[in-house]
């Protein structure tokens, strides 16, 4: 069964460092998403991406964040200068169609900012 894969599974970084989280969505999916889940809190929407551009982003997704689909298979989330409060589990997701909600999630990348 096709699945969304994410790397790394866990990354520890120093405050102020840049971090890139990588995702390989399901191959025939057209819509890509990043969500995050701070420990013990709800899953929060960050950004959606379609046709090589951002479709929607939340208030969390400020200028420190960027997304890219550099080579037609990977979908990356970059945090330019990490803050302590960026520590969270980051989930990538993809879907075949718009707004039907059947998102397929990866297993997440845990980011720890020290």
Binding mask 45-84 for another protein (x = CB under 8 A): xxxxxx----xx-x--------------------------
Three-state secondary structure string covering the chain: CCCCEEECCEEEECCCCCEEEEEECCCCCCEEEEEEECCCCCEEEEEEEECCEEEEECCCCCCCEEEECCCCCCEEEEECCCCHHHCEEEEEEEECCCCCCCCEECCCEEEEEC
One of 79, 106, 111, 113 touching another protein (CB under 8 A): 106
| Nearer to another protein (CB atom), residue 15 or residue 43 | 43
| Nearer to another protein (CB atom), residue 3 or residue 18 | 3
Q: Which residues contribute to the site for another protein (CB under 8 A)?
A: 4, 31, 33, 35, 41-50, 55-56, 58, 91, 93, 95, 98-108
């Amino acid at each position: 069964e096709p699945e969304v894969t994410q790397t790394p599974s866990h990354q520890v970084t120093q405050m102020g460092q840049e971090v890139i989280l990588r995702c390989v969505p399901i191959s025939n999916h057209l819509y890509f998403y990043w969500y995050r889940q701070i420990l013990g809190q709800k899953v929060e929407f960050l950004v959606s991406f379609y046709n090589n551009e951002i479709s929607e982003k939340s208030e969390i997704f400020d200028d420190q964040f960027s997304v890219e689909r550099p080579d037609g298979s990977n979908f990356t989330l970059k945090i330019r200068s990490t803050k302590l409060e960026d520590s969270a589990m980051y989930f990538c997701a993809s879907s075949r169609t718009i707004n039907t909600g059947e998102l397929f999630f990866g297993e997440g990348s845990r980011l720890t900012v020290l």
